[in-house]
């Protein structure tokens, strides 16, 4: 029986990996899997060698403070992969963790094929990583077509597979219509999948909700969470005794609620593409510690945090970062948009135009699973 080890480093990677592996499972049942994964891979019956939360850190200082733990986890992961002896090591995103593991695995057993999904963002920072990746990655699967040139230059085998979050349009007619509050307008909130992100952004967003409720109680707020952080978010909300807010974690329900929203507030990251794909206006928020932010500013090569803005090299979706990431600024920006439908119309048109330019003609999960399968049978 053929074997695949699925290696992720955070919940978003677990979600992306599951879209590919579920397609592969429908193609062949004669594959054994093991992983470093989360709830999405678990639903597919794939065991994880440890809890994903053990390796999820945010910011440079957090990584430095936990460097010995991280190194220990990298070595533990390598040992387990070598012991499992897979035909393919399928690593997904989180390059500072997954690619370090892949490099060590390849050095020990060069027969294991290393396929990486979601290229490290060398077009944003640390472009020299490409030369190093060439030594231990057999094939890299790209989310964006413009990334190809960076890997073609070094003759690294690559395929543009597209981004799974923008493959299909969200269907707005759903079975949960009757479960949603009929007398209120819905605003979707995305505080992040990492615990370290939610610790920073959740209090800010709760203060924003309280501000909104003082002025107008016609809104209902949904936090889009992961299975892992849903309960911790719920606990904080209950302490605040806010009635017009709930937390959802089931993927299909999250998509349904998003499609019914009049607005979304999201941390920077790939989820913003999903929001754009659902044709929902939005703003981006993010906050790091002062030290982490200064290090980040020194290293990055782009002016913006959001991929839509980066591609267009101008602000289409407003970004409230660092000091601007506070309840008052978020409130002012959201209300300004809601009072100016022409601004919303313009943002959505720009986002749709951008998505049309980067959307793959084929399914990312189909294309990626086919590549994995071909490596298994070759």
Which DSSP category does 352 fall into? H
Judged against a pLDDT cut of 70, whether residue 156 lies above it is answered with: yes
Task: Say which residues have a Cβ less than 8 Å from residue 163's Cβ, sequence separation at least 6.
Answer: 143, 144, 270, 273, 358, 359, 360, 364
CB-based burial, 339-358: b 16+ in 10 Å, e otherwise? eeeeebeebbebbeebbeeb
If one compares 146 and 48, the residue with the highest pLDDT of the two is 48
Amino acid 359: pLDDT: 87
Architecture of domain 2-166+361-377: 3-Layer(aba) Sandwich (3.40)
Amino acid 124: pLDDT: 52
In CATH, what number does 177-358 get? 3.40.50.2000
pLDDT band at 62 (very low <50, low <70, confident <90, very high): low
Amino acid 60: pLDDT: 46
pLDDT band at 64 (very low <50, low <70, confident <90, very high): low
Amino acid 61: pLDDT: 47
Q: Tell me the mean pLDDT in the region 328-343.
A: 97
Lateral strand order in the sheet of 185-190? 245-248, 219-224, 185-190, 261-267, 282-286, 319-321
Lateral strand order in the sheet of 88-92? 31-36, 2-7, 88-92, 113-117, 139-142, 158-160
Amino acid 118: pLDDT: 94
Domain boundaries, the chain: 2-166+361-377, 177-358
Asked which of 230-234, 325-329, 344-348 is least confident by mean pLDDT, the reply is: 230-234
Q: Give the pLDDT confidence of 14-53 residue by residue, as tens digits.
A: 989 999 999 999 999 899 999 999 999 999 999 999 998 8
Q: Give the pLDDT confidence of 163-219 residue by residue, as tens digits.
A: 888 876 655 555 566 677 878 999 999 998 777 788 899 999 999 999 999 988 899
Contact criterion met (CB below 8 Å) for 22 and 365? yes
Q: Give the pLDDT confidence of 296-305 residue by residue, as tens digits.
A: 665 566 688 8
Least Cα distance to 39 among 194, 250, 219, 238 occurs for 250
Judged against a pLDDT cut of 50, whether residue 255 lies above it is answered with: yes
Report the phi/psi class of residue 88: left, alpha or beta, with left for phi > 0 and alpha for psi in -120 to 50: beta
Which DSSP category does 318 fall into? -
C-alpha distances (whole Å) from 319 to each of 197, 204, 272 are 16, 15, 12
Distance of CA 128 to the CA centre of its chain: 24
Amino acid 99: pLDDT: 95
Judged against a pLDDT cut of 90, whether residue 114 lies above it is answered with: yes
Q: Tell me the mean pLDDT in the region 249-276.
A: 92
- Average model confidence (pLDDT) across the chain: 89
Judged against a pLDDT cut of 90, whether residue 241 lies above it is answered with: no
Domain 2-166+361-377 and domain 177-358, same fold? Reply is yes
CA gap 333, 283 in Å, rounded: 8
CA gap 16, 164 in Å, rounded: 7
Amino acid 90: pLDDT: 98
Judged against a pLDDT cut of 60, whether residue 316 lies above it is answered with: yes
- pTM of the entire structure? 0.81
Amino acid 269: pLDDT: 82
Amino acid 53: pLDDT: 83
């Amino acid at each position: 029986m053929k074997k695949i080890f699925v290696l992720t480093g955070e919940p978003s990677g677990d979600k992306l990996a599951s879209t590919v592996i579920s397609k592969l499972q429908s193609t062949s049942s004669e594959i054994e899997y093991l992983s470093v994964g989360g709830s999405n891979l678990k639903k597919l019956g794939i065991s994880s060698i440890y809890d994903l939360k053990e390796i999820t850190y945010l910011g440079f200082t957090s990584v430095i403070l936990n460097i010995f733990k991280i190194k220990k986890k990298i070595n533990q992961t390598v040992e387990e992969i070598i012991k499992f002896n897979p035909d393919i090591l399928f690593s997904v995103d989180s390059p500072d963790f997954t690619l370090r593991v892949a490099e060590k695995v390849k050095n020990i057993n060069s027969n294991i094929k290393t396929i990486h999904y979601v290229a490290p963002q060398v077009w944003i920072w640390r472009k020299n990583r490409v030369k190093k990746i060439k030594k231990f990655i057999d094939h890299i699967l790209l989310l964006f077509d413009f990334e190809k040139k960076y890997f073609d230059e070094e003759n690294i085998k690559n395929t543009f597979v597209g981004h799974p979050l923008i493959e299909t349009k969200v269907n707005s007619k759903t079975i949960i219509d009757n479960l949603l509050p009929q007398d209120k307008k819905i605003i979707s909130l995305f505080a992040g999948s990492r615990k370290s992100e939610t610790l920073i952004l959740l209090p800010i967003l709760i203060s924003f909700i309280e501000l909104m409720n003082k002025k107008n109680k016609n809104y209902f707020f949904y936090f889009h969470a992961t299975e892992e952080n849903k309960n911790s978010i719920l606990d904080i909300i209950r302490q605040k005794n806010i009635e017009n807010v709930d937390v959802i974690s089931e993927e299909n329900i999250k998509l349904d609620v998003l499609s019914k929203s009049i607005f979304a507030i999201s941390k920077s990251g790939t989820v913003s593409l999903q929001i754009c794909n659902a044709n929902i206006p939005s703003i981006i928020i993010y906050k790091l510690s002062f030290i982490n932010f200064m290090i980040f500013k020194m290293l990055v090569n782009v002016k913006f945090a959001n991929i839509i803005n980066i591609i267009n090299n101008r602000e289409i979706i407003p970004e409230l970062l660092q000091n601007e990431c506070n309840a008052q600024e978020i409130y002012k920006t959201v209300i300004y948009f809601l009072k100016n439908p022409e601004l919303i119309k313009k943002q959505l048109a720009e986002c749709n135009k951008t998505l049309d330019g980067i959307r793959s003609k084929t399914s990312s999960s189909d294309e990626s699973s086919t590549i994995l399968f071909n490596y298994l049978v070759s």
